[in-house]
Amino acid sequence: MRIDKYLNAVNIVKRRAIAQDMIENKVVKIAGVSVKASRDVKVGDVIEIAFLEKSRFFQVLQIPEVKNVKKNESHLFYKEIEN
């Protein structure tokens, strides 16, 4: 699954357009490298998002098979890592 779709599907960002904008502005990284929107996410990847106040890290636990995941099921697809 593309990273822009993943971020939206598991409710890390509210809309895919926001995810795409964040990727264009190089605030989304995997393994410390800025990614393109077409980058596929794999189980075990650690996604870094550099928000204004601090960076947040999310480890991919599984890839959703549906377009959107219910908010109360988001924890099954990623976990936030403290750094």
What domains, with CATH codes, occur in the chain?
3-81 (3.10.290.10)
In a structure prediction context, what are the per-residue pLDDT tens digits for the chain, which is 83 residues long? 999 999 999 999 999 999 999 999 999 999 989 999 999 999 999 999 998 889 999 999 999 998 888 999 988 999 999 87
Specify the amino acid at residue 17: A
CA distance linking residue 77 with residue 54, whole number of Å: 22
Q: Specify the pLDDT at position 66.
A: 86
Q: Specify the pLDDT at position 10.
A: 95
Q: Specify the pLDDT at position 67.
A: 87
What tokens appear for 60 in the block? Answer: 């991919």
CA 74 from centroid of its chain's CA atoms: 12
Q: Specify the pLDDT at position 38.
A: 92
